[in-house]
Structure 1
Amino acid sequence: MRKCLGFWLLLLFLIPQEVLADNPIMKDKSFSVPAVIVYEGKVYYYVATDMEKKGNTYGKKEWNVYSSMDLENWKLESQFEEPKINMTNRSTVKASHLIVKNDDFFWYVLTESDDNIPDYRVDVIKSDHPVQEWQDTSAVSVIPPDMMDELDDVERVAWKESTLSVSMNENGEAYLFFGKNNLYYVKLKENMVDLENSIKKVYINGFKGSFAGGAKIHQHKDTYYMTFTVNSPQVIGYATAKNLAGPWEYKGIIMDESTEIAPFYANIFSFQEQSYFIYHSKPVTEKQRSNGSVAIEEIYYQDGLIASPVTPTASGTDGPSYLIQQAGGNLALRINDERLVVSVAEEEQYDFRWHQTPGLIGSDQVNIVSFQSENRPGFYLVNQDNRLQVKQDDGSTEFAEIASFRIVPGLSDKTAYSIQPYNKDQYFLFMREDIIEFRKKEELADLELATFHLAAKEDIVPELQTKPVKYSESSEEPYRDGNDSLKGLESSQMIEKEETNWVVVCVVLLSAILIILIIRKYIKS
């Protein structure tokens, strides 16, 4: 009796009592073009709701402002139609960014018109509150369409996924970054609207491949980090600089490509002495594959670099992930692509990790749970004809039922656990190297093979490594613009390189002349 009571008490701590901040962090809608700020002990998150599709893009009509004091519980603070823009027929927001300066909030948006020949512009909206007054304030133009036309030296179709980021240095000077195939920056005046100087292009040293937009800037200690989307399928790369005006040095990939995730529009921010990587991804439910969702991961810095690659996880910041391990041995359940295998447990490998949630079936019983693959968000353990398999959630009631399980006291050890299908309480999970299936108790020759430890494990911190530079199919040279001129117009670094090259040439010529003179003198003598 005491053992059973201990089991149920332990179960109260083992099984989450409410849905917290596992990924995606907002599950009621599909979101896009995210922006994030930290202000007075809260994280504010601004996202647009994907509305009706217009051609090959989505109109952004409804904006949502969420806040959180712990990154686990999110509150919807405000919901309103998109910010007022100073032109009609501008219903598609391609990118957005918020920044706080002297307790004033500046919301920058890059918008596209609905005309047959679209134009683009950057506007800013100002408020003295992170949530209120956005819907009552008209935008002020920062980069008007005619100025954008002068800069846009690639085909218009290239502006599908754009960059918009604003960052301030330690002197309070703000820089606006924007673009897509071409990345530009400009220093802003004190009012955060007018341009201080001319617009310049950004050059990223050592980067070869296709720049796909979504660049965001953040600072950690004395270094600036630029994250951006690379290539297709999409991955997130990053570069570093000691100055917002550059030079920027490519450092590698933060998040690699994933069939389920396709990450882009990544933001990095610090909150309560921890850094977080928040990104736009595909949703984890099959029926919403064309829409977007938002996920979050912890990140770590090592020697001025970001420990990478960061793995998209199902648990996000919501507690530990679990091993499903035999109580009487060292074998554990592992996902291999979309197959399940039983192998010797390696707890530092994501393939062995499972994110445990309340049962998808929606039962109020504390011991009804579901298991989602930690590194394949959206893929759940299911009972398919008494065989344990892993399948992607299709959002249906039928799927929720086969993906829900009952946790009961272990058959061979009451301090451990046995696992039953939600709708078949006579069957128990039986697992050995060559068999993963559900059997009736009388069919179990060894009860230890149907008894498991659900062991909570700490987060896996990636080892510091720099992924090799990615190339596009046509790129064999450093990042170039549409006219094949190196990025970094008016870049002091490029000027220094050219000066260095001339010095080398002069030294070589003078040495050659000196050698010739010595040889001639020797011949005459």
Structure 2
Amino acid sequence: MIRAAILAAALALAQTTPMPGSNPIIRDKFTADPAPLVVGDQLYLYVGHDQARGDEMFNMREWLVYSTTDMRNWTDHGPIMNVADFKWAKKDAWASQAIQKNGKFWFYAAVEHDDTNPGKAIGVAVSDTPTGPFVDAKGSALITNSMTPKGTHSWEDIDPTVFTDDDGTTWIAWGNRQAYIAKLKPNMIEIDGAITEITPPHFEEGPWLHKRGKLYYLTYASLDRKTHTDERVSYSTAPSITGPWTYRGELTGSGKNSFTIHPGIVQFKSNWYLFLHNAALTIGDQQGALGRRAVTIEHLRYDANGLMLPVVQTDAGVTAPPPTR
């Protein structure tokens, strides 16, 4: 009788314990705005840490990094930087992305600038390793709200994405409702030339740049305010990083229980993956919400013309085999 009860309890636990790598991939903290980076045979994932309680919308003070070699098991490397490490910023450790170049790791992140230059801004930090610690590389903001004066609101300068082209030139794109792109100088801490607006249809925020074959991709959180109440993921393609960009439609629907969504795309060990977030996780008495999100991963596939095939968000994530066409 006792043995039967023990076996029944073990079976019940096995049935309720998520398989490693299923969605959401991180379950002990609320995480958002995933940004993957491949370094050798490891994938590093940079995320914001949602710490909102009760009815708070956002409470984000630090960035975290995780790593994996198999897309199933993730190592927590802890905080890599706090918003207070940007002395000129006053709050909001929002979306970020890291990139490797010149033997160092460069980390671009959205924050709220102090009252000397009000509005959202983008800072750049640097480290010798992908797990940090990262330190302010410039001592001032790379991009401020005053640098995009035609924008419609003070929080348009958020969500940086960085991409190094085949010729070694690194570009940065960012934005909220307006999307911008600019070239970075070789020192990685200054804009080189003009800032160009490239706003695609229904652009809301969270741009992500990548290249596959001869095509450049601009993937982003989209919101058709006439038909939807929650963000989805859409994308455009171009023959050059400078365009012209062609709108290709929606890639995913909205994230479960979530107004926001944030794409990150990477190729790792010959497979392509799409990182997102939703608000389906509950930790203790804290349920998922606008300020309590959770990172997910799905397989990503392309058709013969290089267009990304629609992605259905799942609980299984990458623990399931890639779907067939």
- Structure 1 length normalisation: TM-score? 0.53
Structure 2: which amino acid aligns with 1:217? L
2:172 match: 176
- The structure-2 alpha-carbon separation of the partners of 1:116 and 1:260, relative to structure 1 and needing over 3 Å to count, comes to farther
Instruction: Report the Cα offset of residue 292 of structure 1.
Output: 0.4
Q: 5 Å matches for 1:34-433?
A: 34-52=34-52, 57-82=57-82, 84-88=85-89, 90-113=90-113, 118-134=118-134, 137-140=135-138, 141=140, 143-145=142-144, 148-156=145-153, 159=156, 162-204=158-200, 207=201, 210-231=202-223, 232-257=229-254, 259-260=256-257, 262=259, 264-285=261-282, 287-290=286-289, 291-318=292-319, 320=320
Instruction: Report the Cα offset of residue 288 of structure 1.
Output: 1.4
Deviations 1:267-302 (A, max 9, x none): 110001000000121124495121100000001111
1:435 match: none
Instruction: Report the Cα offset of residue 131 of structure 1.
Output: 0.9
Q: Is the 2:46–2:66 contact (alpha carbons within 8 Å) kept by the matching residues of 1?
A: yes
Q: Is the 2:180–2:199 contact (alpha carbons within 8 Å) kept by the matching residues of 1?
A: no
Q: Is the 1:187–1:196 contact (alpha carbons within 8 Å) kept by the matching residues of 2?
A: yes
Structure 2: which amino acid aligns with 1:108? Y
Instruction: Report the Cα offset of residue 69 of structure 1.
Output: 0.3
SS of equivalent residue, structure 2 residue 126: strand
Instruction: Report the Cα offset of residue 170 of structure 1.
Output: 0.3
Deviations 1:65-116 (A, max 9, x none): 111000101011233551511315x220232111111331000012114769
2:323 match: 460
- The structure-2 alpha-carbon separation of the partners of 1:21 and 1:51, relative to structure 1 and needing over 3 Å to count, comes to same
Q: Is the 2:109–2:159 contact (alpha carbons within 8 Å) kept by the matching residues of 1?
A: no
Structure 2: which amino acid aligns with 1:67? S
Q: Distance in 1 between matches of 2:15 and 2:276?
A: 27
Q: Distance in 1 between matches of 2:125 and 2:55?
A: 28
SS of equivalent residue, structure 1 residue 191: coil
2:226 match: none
Structure 1: which amino acid aligns with 2:131? V
Structure 1: which amino acid aligns with 2:206? G
Structure 2: which amino acid aligns with 1:280? H
Instruction: Report the Cα offset of residue 152 of structure 1.
Output: 3.8
- The structure-2 alpha-carbon separation of the partners of 1:97 and 1:311, relative to structure 1 and needing over 3 Å to count, comes to same
Q: Is the 1:255–1:308 contact (alpha carbons within 8 Å) kept by the matching residues of 2?
A: no
Q: Distance in 1 between matches of 2:54 and 2:165?
A: 39
More contact order relative to length (CA 8 Å, sep ≥ 6): 2
Who wins on radius of gyration, i.e. which is larger?
Answer: 1
Deviations 1:124-147 (A, max 9, x none): 11111111332xx234135343xx
Q: Is the 2:88–2:114 contact (alpha carbons within 8 Å) kept by the matching residues of 1?
A: no
Instruction: Report the Cα offset of residue 39 of structure 1.
Output: 0.1
Aligned length: 302
Deviations 1:358-388 (A, max 9, x none): xxxxxxxxxxxxxxxxxxxxxxxxxxxxxxx
Instruction: Report the Cα offset of residue 303 of structure 1.
Output: 2.2
Match status 1:23 vs 2:23 = yes
Q: Is the 1:225–1:239 contact (alpha carbons within 8 Å) kept by the matching residues of 2?
A: yes
SS of equivalent residue, structure 1 residue 133: coil
Cα RMSD, aligned residues only: 2.9
Q: Distance in 2 between matches of 1:157 and 1:31?
A: 24
Structure 1: which amino acid aligns with 2:65? V
Structure 2: which amino acid aligns with 1:312? Q
Gaps of 5+ in 2: 1-10, 224-228
Answer 1 or 2: which has greater helix percent.
1
Deviations 1:285-326 (A, max 9, x none): 4951211000000011112344432111011111x4xxxxxx
- The structure-2 alpha-carbon separation of the partners of 1:247 and 1:54, relative to structure 1 and needing over 3 Å to count, comes to farther
- The structure-2 alpha-carbon separation of the partners of 1:257 and 1:76, relative to structure 1 and needing over 3 Å to count, comes to closer
SS of equivalent residue, structure 1 residue 317: helix
Q: Distance in 2 between matches of 1:247 and 1:267?
A: 22
Q: Distance in 2 between matches of 1:15 and 1:54?
A: 30
Gaps of 5+ in 1: 1-10, 321-457, 464-525
- The structure-2 alpha-carbon separation of the partners of 1:258 and 1:27, relative to structure 1 and needing over 3 Å to count, comes to closer
Structure 1: which amino acid aligns with 2:208? K
* Runs of 4+ off more than 6 Å: 14-18, 53-56
- The structure-2 alpha-carbon separation of the partners of 1:253 and 1:18, relative to structure 1 and needing over 3 Å to count, comes to closer
Q: Distance in 2 between matches of 1:87 and 1:58?
A: 20
Q: Is the 2:171–2:182 contact (alpha carbons within 8 Å) kept by the matching residues of 1?
A: yes
Q: Distance in 2 between matches of 1:187 and 1:199?
A: 8
Q: Distance in 2 between matches of 1:56 and 1:162?
A: 20
Q: Distance in 2 between matches of 1:102 and 1:51?
A: 34
Q: Distance in 1 between matches of 2:116 and 2:185?
A: 34
Instruction: Report the Cα offset of residue 51 of structure 1.
Output: 2.1
Q: Distance in 2 between matches of 1:98 and 1:80?
A: 11
- The structure-2 alpha-carbon separation of the partners of 1:237 and 1:17, relative to structure 1 and needing over 3 Å to count, comes to closer
- The structure-2 alpha-carbon separation of the partners of 1:459 and 1:200, relative to structure 1 and needing over 3 Å to count, comes to closer
**What percent identity do the matched residue pairs reach?**
25
Q: Is the 1:280–1:292 contact (alpha carbons within 8 Å) kept by the matching residues of 2?
A: yes
Deviations 1:379-427 (A, max 9, x none): xxxxxxxxxxxxxxxxxxxxxxxxxxxxxxxxxxxxxxxxxxxxxxxxx
Q: Is the 1:175–1:186 contact (alpha carbons within 8 Å) kept by the matching residues of 2?
A: yes
Q: Distance in 2 between matches of 1:244 and 1:282?
A: 33
